[in-house]
Amino acid sequence: MQLKLTFSANKPIYIPKNHHAMIQGFLYHLLKSVPEYANFLHETGYGNGPHRFKLFVYSDFMGDYFVENNHLVFYNNISLEIRSPVSDFCKVLMISILNSNQFELDHQPISLTECTLSYKNVSSDKITIRMVSPLTLSTTVYENDRKKTRFIRPGDKDFSSAFLHNTMSKYCAAYGDTSPQSVIITPLSVTKEDKYVTKFNNRIYINAWYGCYQLEASAELLSFLYDTGIGSRNSQGFGMFELI
């Protein structure tokens, strides 16, 4: 399922460049209208063992804007897209939105002007995609007995295997299905300008990439990835794509 929200304000809306955590907080605040589900999602998530996932993804903010003092300044209107393969998540979020009469982004009052809920089923086993929010994958390495996160660039020798492992871990978390499946990602157009570095929650720098890719898998698995996002940190606003 995918949910698209459009908000308006009486004056320009100022959004920090590093705003992924702000959007995540905005969504969790909405989910708090059903405390049991919000707590489950925040504290536990889906899956068993060490691999647990929130199973939702959201876009970058969309709309016309200019940049001023490390802020994106939107002209009155701002949109956000949220997707999830979990119907409970979408229903809770939709009910929360429709029952709310006021919203804020970074202490700025905004009004909901449009809310649409739709479904997308991929019918092909090979698709070409463009990243709506950047793709990130990482692995843990040890240097001088210290744990360190290494971000994997598209085209690196372990990019495909890391992508497969991440995809199947999410699929298992959602459906409990551990059957091996094939999924192939091929970078088609990823330039140095597509690299994106942001600081999440003022704590960790994340390297991610926009660009265009080809995905090959079953139509069912591709539909799942459309809803949950590709790569890691989907619930932090990474990995949403559109078909081209």
pLDDT digits (tens, 9 = 90+) for 69-110: 889 999 889 999 999 999 889 888 988 888 887 899 989 999
pLDDT > 80? residue 145: no
DSSP 8-class letter at 237: T
CB 91, CB 118: distance < 8 Å: no
In this prediction, residue 235 has a pLDDT band, given cuts at 50, 70 and 90, of very high
Q: What is the mean pLDDT of the chain?
A: 91
Rounded CA gap, 54 and 192, in Å? 30
Show the domains of the chain with their CATH numbers.
2-118 (3.30.70.1890), 126-243 (3.30.70.1900)
118 bridge partner residues: 2
pLDDT of 149 reads: 84
Who's near 48: CB < 8 A, 6+ residues apart?
173
